[in-house]
Amino acid sequence: MVVDPGPAGDLDPGSSRRYNPGMRFRHHLFVCENRRDPSDPRGCCAARGGEQVRAALKAELKRRGLDGTARANSAGCLDACADGPVVVVYPEGVWYARVRPEDVPEIVESHLLGGKPVDRLLR
Amino acid sequence: MVVDPGPAGDLDPGSSRRYNPGMRFRHHLFVCENRRDPSDPRGCCAARGGEQVRAALKAELKRRGLDGTARANSAGCLDACADGPVVVVYPEGVWYARVRPEDVPEIVESHLLGGKPVDRLLR
Closest CA to A76 of A123, A44, A101: A44
Q: What number of other Cβ atoms are within 10 A of residue B59's Cβ? A: 15
Above 50 in pLDDT, residue B33? Answer: yes
- Euclidean distance between CA atoms B4 and A16, whole angstroms: 5
A115: nearest CA partner in chain B: B2
- Euclidean distance between CA atoms B17 and B52, whole angstroms: 30
Cβ within 8 Å, pair B88-A117 = no
Cβ within 8 Å, pair B5-A24 = no
Q: Whole-prediction pTM value?
A: 0.84
Amino acid B120 reads R
Above 60 in pLDDT, residue B18? Answer: no
- Euclidean distance between CA atoms A108 and A10, whole angstroms: 20
Closest CA to A14 of A121, A117, A108, A120: A117
The pLDDT, as a whole number, for residue B93 is: 95
Residue burial A28-42, b: 16+ Cβ < 10 Å; e: rest = bbbbbbbeeeeeeee
Which chain A residues contact residue B58 at CB under 8 A?
A: none
Tell me the mean pLDDT in the region B71-76. 97
Tell me the mean pLDDT in the region B18-47. 86
Min distance B39 CA to chain A CA atoms (Å): 22
The pLDDT, as a whole number, for residue A13 is: 39
Above 80 in pLDDT, residue B64? Answer: yes
Give residues 8 to 37 of A whose Cβ lies within 8 Å of B: 12, 14-18, 20, 22-25, 28, 30, 33
Is the preceding peptide bond at B91 cis, omega within 30 degrees of 0? yes
Of B22, B91, B119, the CB nearest to A90: B91
A119: nearest CA partner in chain B: B1
Tell me the mean pLDDT in the region A87-95. 96
Closest CA to A91 of A109, A111, A105: A111
Tell me the mean pLDDT in the region A70-86. 94
Cβ within 8 Å, pair A93-B91 = yes
Instruction: Give the pLDDT band of residue A47 (cuts 50, 70, 90).
Output: confident
The answer, for A43 touching chain B at a CB cutoff of 8 Å, is no
The pLDDT, as a whole number, for residue A20 is: 58
| Parallel/antiparallel/unpaired status of strands A27-32 and A87-90 | antiparallel
Report DSSP letters for B85-99, one per residue.
Answer: S-EEEETTTEEE-S-
Tell me the mean pLDDT in the region A7-26. 52
The pLDDT, as a whole number, for residue B3 is: 40
Amino acid B43 reads G
Is residue A113 helix, strand or coil?
A: helix
> What ipTM does this complex have?
0.83
The pLDDT, as a whole number, for residue A93 is: 95
Cβ within 8 Å, pair B17-A15 = no
Which chain A residues contact residue B95 at CB under 8 A?
A: 24
Bridge partners of residue A27, in order along the sequence: A70
The pLDDT, as a whole number, for residue B90 is: 96
The answer, for A46 touching chain B at a CB cutoff of 8 Å, is no
